[in-house]
Amino acid sequence: MDERRSVIRRQADRELAELIEKKTGVKPAQLVRERKLRQAIRHTCKAVLEVEVSHSPGNSDYTTTESHSIRGRVLDLSQGGVFLFTKYELKPGSQFKVGVKIYDGSTIEAQAEVRWSKYKEAKGGYATGAEFISIDEKNQRRLQTFLSELEATLGM
């Protein structure tokens, strides 16, 4: 089954590459090279995640929800979301508050939802992709300004 998926995915990738080249006149290999260069532009940010955890004490049916702060490192940041590394697993679909601390000491806050999470054995933690589902206007502007500054300075 996995082999069939790989064949289908490769065919879909080839078709997409042909379409891109036809529409833009740019060979997909050039786009891949540019993407690899873009990945090198990073800015180390720290993140504090407010995660709500539900649990029931003992054999009771009573459930308590508590909010816990966990620390993470931002590996990539965009207008749409954040790619994080944490020591704790965050399940896809779970929501949390995230505060991304940037270079000037301020924090950009948003509500995010986990889209995927993968354990990285070599690093002893989880790589997690999360989409911003709620971010107020002030934080949206600050995020846009921060990302614009990163692009203008190549992340330096």
- CA separation, residue 99 to residues 17, 37, 145, 156 (Å): 37, 27, 16, 21
- pLDDT > 90? residue 136: yes
Looking at 10-154, which runs of residues are DSSP E strands? 45-55, 64-77, 81-86, 95-101, 107-120, 125-134
Q: What is the mean pLDDT of residues 76-102?
A: 87
The per-residue pLDDT for 57 is 58
CA nearest neighbour of 150 among 73, 131, 142, 112: 142
CA distance from start to end of the chain: 45
The per-residue pLDDT for 36 is 45
For residue 45, give the 3-state DSSP assignment: strand
Give CA–CA dist 62/65, Å, rounded: 10
State the average pLDDT for the chain.
76
Options 2.20.25.650, 2.120.10.30, 1.20.58.220, 2.40.10.220; CATH for 45-152 is 2.40.10.220
Q: What is the mean pLDDT of residues 76-83?
A: 87
pLDDT band for 14, please (50, 70, 90 cuts).
confident
pTM for the full predicted model:
0.61
pLDDT band for 12, please (50, 70, 90 cuts).
confident
The per-residue pLDDT for 126 is 93
